[in-house]
Chain A
Amino acid sequence: MSRLTSRFSRLKEENRKGLIVYITAGCPDFATTLRAVRAAEAMGADIIELGIPFSDPMADGPVIQKAAVLALQAGATSRKVLELVGLIRRETDIPVLAMTYVNTILQYGVAGFARDFGAAGMDGVIVPDLPAEEADILEGYRQAGIDVIQFIAPTTAPERIAANCRLASGFIYCISNTGVTGVREVDYREIGRLLDSARRHTPVPLALGFGIGDARAAQAAAQYADAVIVGSAVMDKLMTEGLDGMSRLVAEIRRGLDEGA
């Protein structure tokens, strides 16, 4: 059983909601990212989504764009993210996914990326500009033990939900509202209906992200999902208040999720 699958099984047994924390690798430096991963885990994160910074992140809002700029200015590269995955794996078993735009994988080399990052202990990839239509370029990833996370968006039609569910493994990334990443007020009921229909097609866990910035929003979103994903709010805290501020936010959201259960 993969680290991701066993983490979701345990959450189910404990009747708890999962917390997926996104952290841009190398922002402001890799030592901080390693500490941030450990701090997030200590405060109750179940899964880490490690962002590989990219120069043109078209699915990301201002906060994660800024984090990518800082990371790239400090010299972040795919190879350094790879080293970081290895360092994380030496210290903890927490599932780690890479959030990466497809060009990063293509330029690293599709097969080499799976081989190297898989060997370092990475569990999956989230590629925001790789819809199901193009996902076959990552053929072989699942056999190599790397889940290729599929998406459901508010605009995804019923027949597409079924098709995306068929490709899914690890979990399904459900996008709460039309837009880019960033904290905002969201009515989760609408996407909740799509999640209900996805459940009829797949047993793969559903994680809901985009817009979630605090414990209250996480609670509201978690009603419909097996896990919530928090990214921009975490990076905003990390960039403005440092590790302590980030840790407090993760702890608050964890408490919110546990109280809501």
Chain B
Amino acid sequence: MSMKKGRFGQYGGQFVPETVMPSLMELETEYLRLRETAAFQQELARYMTEYVGRPSRLYYAANLTRFYGRGKIFLKREDLLHTGAHKINNAIGQILLAKHMGKTRIVAETGAGQHGVASATVAALFGFPCVVYMGREDVERQALNVFRMKLLGAEVVPVTSGCGTLKDATSEAIRDWVTHIRDTHYIIGSVVGPHPYPMIVRDFQSVIGGEVRRQLQELCGCRPDYIVACVGGGSNAMGIFHPFRDQPGVKMIGVEAAGKGLDTPEHAATLTHGRPGVLHGAYSYLLQDDDGQVTPPYSVSAGLDYPGVGPEHSFFKDKGIVTYTAVTDDEALAAFRRLARTEGIIPALESAHALAYLEELMPGTKADDVIVVCLSGRGDKDVQMVSGIMEGLQCHA
């Protein structure tokens, strides 16, 4: 399975019904053509700057650095972008693709709701009808984002099949896409799915890492020693890692959701605990049982609650280009509060997983090490749920 198109080593591929193959081929051809045109790049750059708000700031977190007493911690502030997360980078790129391909309708899946909001936003901007599939359980735990999507004119369809989370929302979005394949573009939200999606989403998200490289050069004339990002499907991580993949001096760590602990069945640590298989069109690491049935993942963070992972991450894992690890709900919640208290920044629960890893990383760093954490999204969407958890724990924020 190694020498074919759309592969990262043995991972990736196009495991989809025949009905959608012609659309994937068209998407690939159109994307590769448009990518090389100056007009498309200029159009994309204009939206990224004027609408999305790029470049995002690279913020030196002096208080957090002081808290750990070593290194220099920088936060890549994707949370400050329009709609509050990195998801908009990909959504804006893909809506431009959809427009150029003459598509007239958008479908998307969403977990935490950040990608759903980003898709609904760009659909509103470009005047496309938009349907967002969201697991029933996520509709409940991310009520604020559901309201935002509706306000933006999108139809939000709660998905009750399977376990009612991101995996099932993705399956349902694919079913809609297969049904309306001729006029509909599927804005997949992460570096997952069949080729060419993992490549396209990676390319649109790589703006994150490209900016980090430039910004660090300007700020301190240095490059990062460590880059830390959370991994669900893995789009913010791929976006910040990819531009550094050929620099062995840069140690990259992807942080998955260990949920209630890796020694329990309730986690979403696909790369840490899964094994390769096919889900949603790609061959990649997967949480599954011996028979190949996908096992329900769990994380307090809806955006990380996915049993698969982008195929290029599987490749990076096997090649040792990135180290993957996992932190628990409790560790992420502690990091969520820590950043709020030290820096006055409320991170998304997803991003809090990356921040939580600093507890393990920082004691082993040198005084002048430069650490960049991808703050992939803001935590407004999570405060209601976290407040519920803290009350449940009789904990006082």
- Chain A residues packing against B (C-beta within 8 Å): 54-59, 61-62, 65, 72, 77-79, 101-104, 106-108, 128-134, 137, 151-157, 160, 164, 175, 178-180
Q: Are B18 and A106 in contact (CB under 8 A)?
A: no
Which residues from chain B contact A106 at a C-beta distance below 8 Å? 276-278, 283, 292
Query: Does B216 lie at the interface of the complex (its beta carbon under 8 Å from any beta carbon of A)?
Result: no
- Whether the pair B292, A152 counts as a contact (CB closer than 8 A) is no
A131-B18 contact given A155-B23, A178-B179, CB 8 Å threshold = yes
Q: Is B292 within 8 A of A103, CB to CB?
A: yes
Known: A155-B181, A178-B181. A61 touches B278 (CB 8 A): no
Q: Which of B14, B18, B23, B181 is packed against the most chain A CB atoms within 10 Å? A: B18
B288 and A107 within 8 A (CB): yes
List, in ascending order, chain A residues with CB within 8 A of B279's CB: 56, 103
Q: Given A103-B277, A180-B175, are A59 and B17 also a contact pair (CB < 8 Å)?
A: yes
Bound: A56/B287 CA distance, A: 12
Docked-complex contact B180 and A131, CB < 8 angstroms? no
- Return chain A residues, CB-CB under 8 Å to B292: 54, 78, 103-104, 106-108
Selected from A55, A129, A156, A175, the residue in CB contact (under 8 A) with B294 is A55
Q: Offer 13 A-B interface pairs, CB within 8 angstroms, sorted by A.
A: A59-B175, A102-B15, A103-B294, A104-B291, A107-B277, A128-B17, A129-B15, A133-B4, A133-B21, A152-B18, A155-B23, A175-B17, A179-B179
B51 to chain A, nearest CB (A): 33
Given contacts A129-B17, A129-B278, A151-B17, is CB(A107)–CB(B290) below 8 Å?
Answer: yes
Neighbour of B180 across the interface among A54, A103, A178, CB < 8 A: A178
**Given the complex of chains A and B, what is the CA–CA distance between A133 and B13 in angstroms?**
9
- B residues contacting A by CB (< 8 A) are 1, 4-5, 13-23, 161-162, 167-168, 171, 174-175, 178-182, 276-281, 283, 286, 288, 290-294
Min distance, Cβ B131 to any Cβ of chain A, angstroms: 15
Question: How far is B14's CA from A132's CA once the two chains are assembled, in angstroms?
Answer: 10
Known: A103-B288, A129-B16, A130-B15; 5 extra A-B contacts, CB below 8 A, are A58-B171, A107-B291, A128-B17, A155-B19, A180-B178
**Are B174 and A133 closer than 8 Å at their CB atoms?**
no
